[in-house]
Structure 1
Amino acid sequence: LDNDINKDKEIILNSSQLNCLKRITGFIEKPLNHNFLLEGVTGSGKTEVYIRCVEKALEKNRTSVILTPEISLVPQLYSMFRKVFKDNCCVYHSGMSESERYEKWLDILSGKCKVIIGTRSALFTPFKNPGIIIIDEFHDTSYKENSGLRYCTIETALKFCKISEIPIVLGSATPSIRIKYRFEKDKNSSILKLEEKIFKDSKVIREIIDLKKINSFSEDEIITNKLYSEIFERVNKKEKAIIFINKRGYSKYIICSECGFIPKCENCNLSYTYHSVGNKLKCHHCDKEIIFKKICPQCGSKRVMMLGTGIQKVEEKIRKRFPDVSVVRMDSDVTSKKKSHEKILNEFIRSSPSILIGTQMVSKGLDIKDVTLVGVVNIDSMFSLPDYIINERVFQILTQVAGRAGRGFKDGKVIVQTYNSDGMIIRSFMKDNFELFYNDELKMRKNLKYPPYSNLVNIIISGRSYEKISKVSYRLAKDIQKIKNYTECEILGPAPSPFSKINNNYRWHILVKSFDINNFISRFTKMFNEFKIEKTARVLIDVDPYWIL
């Protein structure tokens, strides 16, 4: 990846970085197990601390594993580490071909590669003589495997390091509330803080555009006049801007203005998302696609409207406004091919001015010095999701995407368009105060007995027959109620899941709040082994789910 990150000249650590480094390397020296949460504001130099920790492990001839949540972030991280560790450094992730992974597997097994950088699968490579595990942006939901065998990379790594008697570092500007709270109470865990940006001369201004108070939209009703004027200013200065929107596709859904019909996926009973590329309607849950003829399939009317805003619509508007500027888009629809992430980012980096439009991918770890503006177009759509953890997710996304601006010597600005300007999340974000948000969120969760004051177990029952899975759900809930007499817990449900039908399977769920998780799992396992399940039903048990949708 072409970038100006981490030039060859040696970087001198500041006092906060040196203090964190001293605490961590003490446990690499011995070696002993200890859990470190490295809580550093965006641009505070966490990566430099990681590199020095790996240097210490290499001095002891020990292997280091550094994990990042997305394949798109691997090239950037690898380029930084390779400058220091040369051929000792290798990459491992699922985006590589089978032959490439096999080759690296052998290099790791032989001990040729002692610095392994990758996504969660890199944790399961056959490295020997481990020295330290580092998990960057550990709050990210990508660290949870949500298909097949469900596991949490963070919990797996914590257990591995305990068994191996080595330290682990979990780094983030917006740590998981559950992990932070646990580390505050645990004697074998420490929270280290980096509270200052490396480039102190640059500042980042945060600004809210309150959509309730002003008629601030231009004619396209997606991007406000204020945000457009800020983009124009960056273009004139030949700088870079990032526009964040949390929706793939062109339009959230289609509706017929004659009869009110909304096309829905037959497999999932959820509305299709319109994609302008290929003129398709696509289900983002089962991936079913159909060609859209712009005629209502129910009444035949041509008066169909595209409602809601997707990334393709934002891209179209930006390209129309800035025809001579390099505009690139980054979402899962355009990054499925090998090295597509690097191609997109290289085009963005090499061009000046340039505009990057992206979904959550662009909020994660990008370190590009000339980005002086970040615009958040549609964060409000996330507030409607029926999940206890959504406040945490929104705050994390806002803080992370804001951290892409002003990372060099130039000042940056972050503009958020929202109807929720008075909410605690936005107020905490505007003050750049994670502790304010953290303490307020803890109060809410304590009242409702959500994590970290309990462990959640989400039991999902699915199948083709609605009647059969509802019966299985009620029988299972009745048996779980019997466990309640022997272990402290609360049981919610059974009820249809928020996404009640996916890929032609109906879904019900039972949510358990356990206050003695080991006891509950032990008793539940014994009960479940004797529980008779309909052949057409499937039961999935997710302990500590990242989402309950």
Structure 2
Amino acid sequence: MVGRDTPGKNSTLSRSLNHSSNKIVDVLIEDIPLKSDYPLYSFSVPVELEDEIDVGKRVFVPFGKGNRLKKGIVVNISEGRGDNLKNIFGLVSKYKIIDENGLRVLFKLKDKYYIPINSLLKKFIPLGKSKKGEEFIVLKDGYENKIKENEKRKIDCVNFILENDGSIKLNTLKKFFSTNLIKNLENRGIIEKIYKIEKEREITKKDYKNISLTKEEIKIPDKLIISGLNYVERWKYYVKKLDDVIKSGNKAKVIFPERIYVDDFYDFLPDEIKKFTYKVTGEFGKKIREDLFQGIEDGYVKLIIGTAFSLLLPLNEKLIIIDMEDRFRNVEELLNVNIYEIVSDYIERSDKKVIFGAYFPSLNLTLKAKRENIEIKKERLHLKNIKIIYNREDLLITPEIKNVINKNKDKKIFIFYPRKGYFTYFLCDECGYVEKCPNDGVPLTYFSEKNKLVCKICGFEKNLFDFCPVCGGITMKFTSPGTERVKERIKKIYKDRNVYQLDESITGGSKKKREEIEKEFMQKGDIIVGTNMILPLLRKVNDFIFVFLNIDFVLNFPEYDSFENVFYLIIRVLEESEIKNSKVFIQTKFPKNIIFESLNQKNPYLFLNEELKRRKESKFPPYAKYITIENFDLSYTESLKKIKDNEDEIYFEDNVVKIKTKNIDRYKEIFDKIKFNSRIIIKEF
């Protein structure tokens, strides 16, 4: 690197932007406002860095008129003289954090789903708090002859720099002297801006004994689905395959939807595989990150297990395992993109193989398997620890559930109850009929300000009525849930039990508070009432009782995929119950619902077929694209309506827009304009 060393530990000062090589790089700037579709900028490569530069490496670059120091990722290298371009200042790290294939996937996702590329970077690449680059001000040679005696304030600035050994941080200098004064001295050649870049830590390479290689090929198809086995049984299968991969001289990744299972699977691994394994579950410290990339480069990291955050790391793996595939659909980190699409794009143009594992595959993967003829290693689901309880009287707690709680004083009891405040739906207390939208088939929501039933998808409105259109009953009523109400009721009934509550209203989003409640419940709790937040606790308890006290609320949620959400929520609990030899009870007013019928008959495909039929009739994915735009700029309303095709459906609700269409491309121009301020969620199969 061109420059000079100055006193100070681990520091290099880059002074010059001269001596360019014949290489030009396109750099994706990491931290700039999301106002550019392609925040790519071209820079020259100094001769000193010509042999070190590579696609996927992070660099320091001068950005903007003031040459502010920014970090970026090299996405392309070309030959040519960049005499009119600025030089990059140096490398943030000597390691690649992503390869060309990973970058291709990110840009493809950006174009297809209108997601700003910087948002994708933060979701899929461990940038973290890496090596720092800071701006310094130093005095130039001959500065004494360029400043006048009457420029007292400027003389004070020069003396201040001299008092700090001739070099001071720009931010520190700005605390005492104005930006205009500093700029004036810089323009007159009295001072200059240089950059201090922290040197990388020396890493001691790990010394592992050589593996006895078999050089045998991995005997699985390019894509394979493992279905019907609980995750402990699947993990046994994975371990055998991973052992084959490592012994054949190859590498692998295992990806989970939640970090808790990353830790569990790591503990499950035999020691001979652990020593080649790295866990990656999110942002981590500089030391760990450097060790990881050093291990990837030197080849002693053979296996990475982690969340989706680790999927695009440049391991050059042969095998990717996506476990608990059915649970990725609700992972916020994936934005609105399904895991199957990301992995399929990633393995395209390569010889990588992928295994998708799930107790029961997602609706999306089941369809893909049929369309693409993907091989499925299928076992029949047991589904033996489940009982459906008919809540005929619409009671908060039926006598059957009370009896279950009474009989199981020695077991931990989990009661699932959705959090309050979502919505209120309208049903018949006699036959269980729920009033639904004639256009979309989703339950209508009661809006008190209108005193009407409203569809939250299309805006359809209907006046309240007294008589049930199915049974003629006169007991139409509103239903709305609340975990706190359930907890207080249970505490009154079971005064000798320790009852806990776990939901967002209790934790306030605090991870520490959540962990405190979990720990206390595990030590001395009997019953816990909560939302999805109680689900991770199931893996810690043997022989538990799980009660869905008001699954009807989620079942009647005003979204087109509410049935799908309920089905896979139950599947998740049933998988844990099979492993832990536990029992599951579902209290419902709708025992004939296709979900419960399919579970009773131990045939989940009954539900899938019926769900697809329903969606086809209502024109929802996979038979149409369903787009939700949050924080929509209403000034584009008329433009949106003009673009709309006769078959498209567009609904407005405050600043949220919902679109059903078979052709997204016609909306591309508007999406490109609003995507930096709005959140565009595209659901398709």
TM range (shorter): 0.5 to 0.7
The residue number in structure 2 matching 1:74 is 262
Q: Give the unaligned 5+ runs of structure 2.
A: 1-214, 425-446, 449-478
Is the 2:225–2:356 contact (alpha carbons within 8 Å) kept by the matching residues of 1?
yes
Question: How big is each residue's C-alpha offset from its partner over 1:6-36, in whole Å with a ceiling of 9 and x where there is no partner?
Answer: xxxxxxxxxxxxxxxxxxxxx9925886222
Q: Distance in 1 between matches of 2:492 and 2:229?
A: 36
SS in 2 for 1:164: coil
Question: Bigger CA drift: 156-165 or 131-140?
Answer: 131-140
What is the CA deviation profile of residues 408-445 of structure 1, one whole-angstrom value per residue up to 9, with x for unaligned ones? Answer: 4x5x4321111112221222223232111112222223
Distance of 1:543 and 1:30 partners within structure 2: 36
Aligned match for 1:458, one of 627, 630, 637: 627
Give the AA of the match of 1:456: K
Answer yes or no: is the 8 Å Cα contact 1:240–1:354 preserved in 2: yes
8 Å contact kept, 1:239–1:372? yes
**Alpha-carbon distance in 1 for matches of 2:537, 2:328:** 11
Tell me: CA distance 1:443–1:308, structure 2 relative to 1, closer, same or farther (3 Å).
closer
Counterpart CA distance in 1 for 2:660 and 2:322 is 32
Counterpart Cα distance in 2 of 1:62 and 1:345? 40
Contact 2:627/2:659, CA 8 A, preserved across alignment: yes
Amino acid across the alignment from 2:340? I
Secondary structure in structure 2 of the residue aligned to 1:138? helix
- Counterparts of 1:54-453 in structure 2, within 5 Å, are 54-81=242-269, 85-94=273-282, 97-99=284-286, 102=289, 105-106=292-293, 109-110=296-297, 111-143=299-331, 145=333, 150-187=336-373, 189-195=374-380, 204-211=384-391, 213-214=392-393, 217=395, 222-235=396-409, 238-247=410-419, 308-319=480-491, 321-322=493-494, 325=497, 327-331=499-503, 334=507, 354-363=526-535, 366-368=538-540, 370-408=542-580, 410=581, 412-452=582-622
Cα 1:89–1:121 shift into 2, 3 Å: same
- Counterpart in the other structure of 1:290: none
Superposed displacement of residue 375, structure 1:
0.4
Q: Which amino acid aligns with 2:302?
A: K
Residue 512 (structure 1) aligned with residue 676 (structure 2): no
Q: Deviations over 1:444-477 (max 9, x none)?
A: 233334333x35151526346x5x3xxx133124
Aligned-pair CA distance for 1:358: 3.6
Q: What's the secondary structure of 2:357's corresponding residue?
A: strand
Indicate whether 1:491 and 2:648 are aligned: yes
Report the secondary structure of 1:226's partner residue: helix
Amino acid at match of 1:491: D
Q: Kindly indicate whether the alpha-carbon contact (under 8 Å) linking 2:257 and 2:327 is maintained by their aligned counterparts in 1.
A: no
Query: SS of the residue aligned with 1:433?
Result: coil
Q: What one-letter code is carried by the residue in structure 2 that aligns with 1:389?
A: D
Q: State whether residues 33 and 164 of structure 1, in contact with CA within 8 Å, keep that contact through their aligned partners in structure 2.
A: no
Separation (CA, whole Å) in 1 of partners of 2:574 and 2:492? 25
**Cα deviations across residues 475-496 of structure 1 (Å, max 9, x unaligned)?**
1242253xx8xxxxx4111x21
Given the superposition, is the C-alpha separation of residues 396 and 230 from structure 1 closer, same or farther in structure 2, using an over 3 Å criterion?
same
Shift in Å, 1:180: 0.7
- Normalising to structure 2: TM-score of the pair? 0.53
The answer as to whether partners of 1:334 and 1:340 remain within 8 angstroms in 2 is yes
Partner letter of residue 176 of structure 1? S
Residue aligned with 1:195, SS: coil
Task: Show the counterpart of 1:544.
Answer: 683
SS of the aligned residue for 1:151 comes to coil
Which letter does structure 1 place at the counterpart of 2:588? T
Amino acid at match of 2:627: N
Distance in 2 (CA, whole Å) between partners of 1:354 and 1:321 is 13
- Work out the CA distance in 1 between the residues paired with 2:353 and 2:528: 37
- In structure 2, relative to structure 1, the CA distance for the partners of 1:108 and 1:134 (3 Å cut) is farther
TM-score w.r.t. structure 1 length? 0.65
Judge conservation of contact 1:38–1:170 (CA < 8 Å) in 2. Answer: yes
The 2-side partners of 1:424 and 1:28 are apart by: 47
Q: Pick closer, same or farther for the CA change 1:539–1:241 going to 2, 3 Å.
A: closer
State the Cα distance separating 1:193 from its structure 2 match. Answer: 0.8
1:38 pairs with 2:226: yes
SS of 1:227's partner is: helix
Could you list the per-position Cα deviations for residues 194-240 of structure 1 after superposition, in whole angstroms to 9, with x for gaps in the alignment? Answer: 2266xxxxx844222222x247x4xxxx33332132123221xx233
Say which SS state the counterpart of residue 371 (structure 1) adopts: coil
Measured in 1, the distance between the counterparts of 2:490 and 2:362 equals 34
CA contact under 8 A between 2:255 and 2:306: conserved in structure 1? yes
Q: CA deviation at 1:405?
A: 2.4
> For the structure 1 residues 380 and 118, does the alpha-carbon distance in structure 2 shift closer, same or farther, using more than 3 Å as the test?
same
Retained in 1: the 8 A contact 2:279–2:306?
A: yes
Question: Residues 364 and 140 of structure 1: is their aligned pair in 2 closer, same or farther, counting only changes over 3 Å?
Answer: farther
For residue 124 of structure 1, give the secondary structure of its aligned residue in structure 2.
Answer: coil
Instruction: Indicate conservation of the 8 Å contact 1:395/1:429, yes or no.
Output: no
For structure 1, which runs of at least 5 residues remain unmatched after alignment? 1-26, 198-202, 255-269, 272-306, 485-489, 515-519
Between the aligned partners of 1:31 and 1:143, the Cα distance in structure 2 is 31
Answer yes or no: is the 8 Å Cα contact 1:66–1:118 preserved in 2: yes
SS in 2 for 1:223: coil
Give 1:41 shift. 5.0
Work out which structure has the larger RCO, using CA pairs closer than 8 Å and 6 or more positions apart in sequence: 1
Is this contact kept in 2: 1:136–1:172, CA < 8 A?
yes
User: For 2:290 and 2:493, how far apart are their aligned partners in 1?
Assistant: 47
The two structures, once aligned, show a CA RMSD in angstroms of 4.0
Change (3 A) 1:338 1:35: same
1:98/1:312 CA distance change after superposition, 3 Å: farther
Larger Rg: 2
Q: What CA distance in whole angstroms lies between the structure 2 residues aligned with 1:399 and 1:109?
A: 37
SS at match of 2:579: coil
Structure 1: which amino acid aligns with 2:527?
I
Query: In structure 2, do the counterparts of structure 1 residues 172 and 241 end up closer, same or farther at CA, with 3 Å as the change threshold?
Result: same
Cα distance, 1:350 vs structure 2: 5.9
Whole-Å separation in 2 of the counterparts to 1:84 and 1:311: 46
**Distance change >3 Å, CA 229–CA 461, structure 1 → 2:** closer
Counterparts of 1:32 and 1:162, CA distance in 2: 17
Name the aligned partner's letter for residue 443 of structure 1. K
Give the aligned residue type for 1:510: I
Query: How far has the Cα of 1:345 moved from its partner?
Result: 5.7
Structure 1 pair 223–186 and aligned structure 2 pair: CA distance change class (3 A): same
